[in-house]
Chains A and B, each alone.
Chain A
């Protein structure tokens, strides 16, 4: 017994001395960073803006939500690189910065145009960094402007930005996915983009295309609708609402499509061809036409019209990406890499020049699973 006690005391002592892992930090010694914004200021210097939680404001105990304090502060600091600016930030705060709860990384347009390549290192290398932050580009604006927005439902804008993506049917785009895209062989990353409205609100404004062959510079944007279609092709879209005019009258039908799926097929010929097959099924949420989805003939008409109109939109998107941006954001190269590794070896070196020449055939097949709660529009029943 005595021996055991003495032995365990020695072990405990050794543990304290050798591991040196006394990293006890009370939560009230930490400044929780909820969102980070990266900008290039007027002088061309890197400016890091952090949104830091003020915990006392959200739960003051006595009066829920009514202490009148703002639930966050926004602090900015400039520096040569991210960490340098971070040190600058730290000097303004009485608590040490804590990165592990950072939920969003925002990148201002000016910085995105200059290229992100050199900035990513800190986010990978630093063990304190959180890989599950969603990363967004601020279109026509500065990241710090978004961080200063007074949030609507949540106490913090960062949670809102993640939920916004879910609300529009996207899978949230996290930093680790961005890394995977940036490090894979062919795919160019597209990041969700938001822009600040004059009313001090933000709006989801599509997707930003980065060119990883050129220091991850911003090449351009897709508008929200295009970004949804592009995400469908990459497989990051959960649901999609399609509105299309049907028949001669030009009245619209809206389909809320779930269970979106895609299928790619590549044929090596001259020029190489890519067949894109997109499938989706859903229910009609609005029908202003005279057609009755309960009837087979009308249903076929509706499905055909919806599919065709979406197909044209996708075709236009592919065209835009190929001709205007010349950036393979749709993951075609990666598909060939995985499915036809031997052919990819030949294509890989000049994929950038080849991608715009790729002959892409798009086929969209939308199915109506459920006509909704009534068959035809109320109009026709009157």
Chain B
């Protein structure tokens, strides 16, 4: 609805809109020449210095050369560039004006004018660019994204100063009206995937978008998979590397976590160091990660299967010492493992939630309680502690923290299966897991590619991190469907 020409009515209208909003300021100004203006803004969201020197002072003391009092000419003058602010525009719709004011712009209205002039002198407190705490790398850029969308896109643009880097804007959330930017490199990203993501984001019907996870959940293909289908990162270098591989990034205002789609299984096991370190060492590290990932999911169940179902497979000496250490334990092995796994997960969760000062205490108490006392008291046998902590620690080797969730979670069904059927059960569980993984195709991209389906040229990059000279013999990945 367009606003009227009477300033009194307009003021009434907006005061009603902003009823009980103490942070909205209404200010009447009398400018040189006697006409009255109304200024509406959110207190704290505008830069008062800029406002005073660039808008108020010229208006109040100097007046305007001609046609003073009609906002139309005021607006025209603004368009001619007489106000020293970066952006201004003219709006006539009351809803749009409200939105703009709430986003931190100052609205100026005048008598006899059915429009408002919006001046961009937004300024609010933000956090500086800091080092990434969740994704540490030994080498490479230390900066990580912040909560502010523009800062984040700026960081990316600085890395890829090319017009081929596209940043499409969208607003999601009925109440939060969160700004979202879909970013991709034209020519590298698969068009159909870009279209798909764009339409999925536009289809989101949520009141609030508080974090990028809201977007992630709304646009992901399979909700019932333990495996994450999108990379979440706060490192600009990971995002730009992803874009170079034809992935698409989704920035959300208010969170440093950027979504990168589509994800493959192998992305979860890659760390930035892989690409910054010398390739021999990086390749070795990659294999260590693969082995430990498998280890973290399988070790407890294999222990159960071997000791309870196939003791003949364990070397006699080892078997005897395991048996010896078990003698005092009152529980069956499977119960012991469950108890300890449960305890371990509890400790981990407690460690995250606690204030930083108390965090280390948890690990000390945990180590004492579980590692020492429980074994000494004969409640838990020592090998169980070794098995559970080894598996737990190896799950921390997985570089993307989110990607360790499925590994930790799937341990439990595998434990049950191995407790019921031994190695046969583990085989069943692993087969079921792979059936699921092979079926998983987020945004049409096979999750396990390039291993299954096999892409001959790309599979070598999964096995090793090749020196760039040799890797470049292979055409760069082009299109997300081969990510």
| Known pairs A25-B308, A26-B332; A55 contacts B327 (CB<8 A) | yes
B319, closest chain A residue (CB): A101
Pairwise interchain contact A23-B324, C-beta atoms closer than 8 A = no
A61 lies within 8 A of B421 (CB):
no
Q: For window 283-341 of chain B, which residues contact chain A by CB distance below 8 Å?
A: 307-309, 311-312, 316-317, 319-328, 332-333
Cβ-defined contact, B316 with A103, below 8 A? yes
Chain B nearest Cβ from A71, distance in angstroms: 9
Count of chain A residues with a beta carbon within 8 Å of a chain B beta carbon: 31
Shortest CB-to-CB span from B158 to chain A, Å, is 44
The answer to whether B375 has its CB under 8 Å from any CB of chain A is yes
Known: A1-B224, A8-B432, A32-B319. A58 touches B312 (CB 8 A): no
How far is A306 from B47 in the complex, measured between Cα atoms in Å?
A: 104
Contacts A26-B333, A101-B319 hold; do A57 and B324 have CB atoms under 8 A apart?
yes
Main secondary structure of the interface of B (DSSP, over half): helix
A130 contacts partner chain B, Cβ-Cβ < 8 Å: yes
A24 within 8 A of B: yes
Contact of A32 among B309, B320, B375, B421 (CB under 8 A): B320
- Say whether A130 contacts B421, CB under 8 Å: no
B425-439: contact bitstring with A at CB < 8 Å (1 yes, 0 no)?
000100010000000
CA gap between A122 and B382 in the complex, in Å: 37
Q: How far is the CA of A301 from the CA of B26 in the complex (A)?
A: 120
The answer to whether A294 has its CB under 8 Å from any CB of chain B is no
Answer whether residue B424 sits at the interface, using C-beta atoms and an 8 A cutoff.
Answer: yes
Interface string of A262-273 (1 = CB under 8 A from B): 000000000000
Return A160 CB to nearest CB of chain B, in Å: 13
In the complex, whether B228 has a CB less than 8 A from a CB of chain A is: no
Q: Which of A96-142 contact B (CB under 8 A)?
A: 98, 100-101, 103, 130
Selected A-B contacts with CB under 8 Å, 29 pairs: A8-B432, A16-B420, A19-B421, A21-B424, A22-B420, A24-B419, A25-B309, A25-B311, A26-B308, A27-B319, A28-B326, A28-B327, A32-B311, A32-B316, A32-B320, A53-B320, A55-B326, A56-B324, A57-B324, A58-B321, A59-B321, A60-B324, A61-B375, A61-B382, A98-B311, A98-B312, A100-B311, A101-B320, A159-B316
Known: A30-B311, A58-B321, A61-B376. 20 other contacts (CB 8 A): A1-B224, A15-B421, A16-B420, A19-B424, A25-B308, A25-B309, A27-B307, A27-B322, A27-B323, A27-B333, A28-B323, A30-B323, A32-B320, A53-B323, A57-B324, A58-B324, A61-B328, A98-B312, A101-B312, A101-B316
A→B interface (CB under 8 Å): 1, 8, 15-16, 19, 21-28, 30, 32, 34, 53, 55-62, 98, 100-101, 103, 130, 159
Q: Interface residues, chain B, CB within 8 Å of chain A?
A: 224, 307-309, 311-312, 316-317, 319-328, 332-333, 375-376, 382, 419-422, 424, 428, 432
Q: Which 3 A-B pairs have the closest CB atoms?
A: A100-B312, A55-B324, A59-B324
